[in-house]
């Protein structure tokens, strides 16, 4: 799933980010309400983790704006430190789908996100991603290419997971940078070097490179081995 975390507490945000990313999800994060709203409106997410108390714009206002002004229905799981019925009700009135009171178990967060996503009729992409000779299992992080297993560093793995989401489609460099590094500033050299590392690891394992450079634009994962 593609998940947005809007949380200003650095330790909580990092824990959520690391846990969900390690579980094979694609995660973006914002530390304030304004950035969170901007991301939620400009990108498509499968679920949003939204803290109630945020600088810039609180979670309830963000939620309300998203639902009523931007007409965006992405499932929202509200995270709240204030265990009062009143806050919970306000959260639901603003259009949140579910809530969790801090402190929460990380596994519980993932389970609720998946449940909300399914209730909306969404497919959970926590299943095997596959094209041609290449497969990636987001649950075990096991990558296989032409019969050989491949080990990849985290960012290269995420790059591969994004491209495997739509094999054959051309991804622009900007799009890949945004999907993998989000608002962390990535230079053009960052993508280039991770892409190089990914292609080298795959070529070494499978005997050929399944990624094509699309001149002046970006990259594409080929769907059939070259003949």
**What are the residues binding Ca ion (CB under 5 A)?**
8, 51, 53
Query: Cα separation of 122 and 127, whole Å?
Result: 13
**Beta carbon of residue 56, minimum distance to Ca ion (angstroms, whole number):** 11
Least distance CB 52 / Ca ion (angstroms):
7
**Nearer to Ca ion by C-beta: 9 or 199?**
9
Complex with Ca ion: residue 8 or 197, whichever CB lies closer: 8
Structure tokens given for 216 = 């002046």
∠ CA 93-79-161, nearest 5°, is: 110
Nearer to Ca ion (CB atom), residue 8 or residue 209? 8
100 versus 128: smaller Cβ distance to Ca ion: 100
Nearest to Ca ion of 58, 212 (CB atom): 58
Q: Is the dihedral of CA 152, 5, 2, 174 positive or negative?
A: negative
- Distance, in Å, from the CA atom of 168 to the CA atom of 166, rounded to the nearest integer, reads 6
Min dist. Cβ of residue 79 to Ca ion (A): 8
Question: Whole-number minimum distance, CB 8 to Ca ion, in Å?
Answer: 5
In whole angstroms, how close is the CB of 50 to Ca ion at the nearest point?
10
Exposure string over 118-147, b if 16+ CB within 10 A, otherwise e? eeeeeeebeeebebbbbebebeeeebbbee
Task: CB nearer to Ca ion: give 51 or 133.
Answer: 51
Distance CA 70, CA 35 (A): 15
Task: Please identify which residue in the block is written with the tokens 């059939």.
Answer: 224
| Minimum distance, C-beta of residue 54 to Ca ion, in the bound complex (Å) | 6
Burial of 41 (0-12, 13-18, 19+ CB in 10 A): middle
């Amino acid at each position: 799933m593609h998940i947005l975390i809007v949380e200003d507490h650095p330790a909580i945000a990092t824990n959520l980010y690391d846990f969900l990313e390690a579980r094979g999800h694609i995660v973006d994060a914002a530390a304030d309400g304004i950035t969170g709203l901007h991301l939620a409106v400009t990108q498509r997410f499968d679920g949003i983790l939204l803290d109630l108390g945020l600088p810039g714009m609180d979670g309830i206002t963000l939620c309300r704006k998203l639902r009523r002004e931007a007409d965006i229905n992405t499932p929202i799981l509200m995270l709240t430190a204030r265990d009062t019925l009143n806050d919970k009700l306000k959260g639901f009135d603003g259009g949140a789908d579910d809530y969790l009171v801090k402190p929460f178990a990380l596994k519980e967060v993932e389970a609720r996100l998946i449940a909300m996503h399914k209730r909306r009729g969404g497919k959970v992409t926590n299943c095997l991603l596959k094209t041609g000779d290449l497969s990636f299992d987001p649950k075990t992080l096991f990558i296989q290419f032409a019969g050989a297993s491949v080990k990849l560093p985290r960012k290269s793995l995420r790059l591969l997971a994004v491209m495997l989401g739509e094999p054959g489609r051309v991804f622009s460099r900007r799009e890949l940078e945004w999907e993998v590094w989000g608002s962390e500033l990535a230079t053009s050299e960052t993508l280039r070097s991770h892409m190089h590392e990914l292609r080298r690891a795959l070529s070494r394992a499978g005997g050929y490179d399944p990624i094509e450079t699309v001149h002046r634009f970006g990259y594409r994962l080929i769907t059939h081995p070259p003949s």
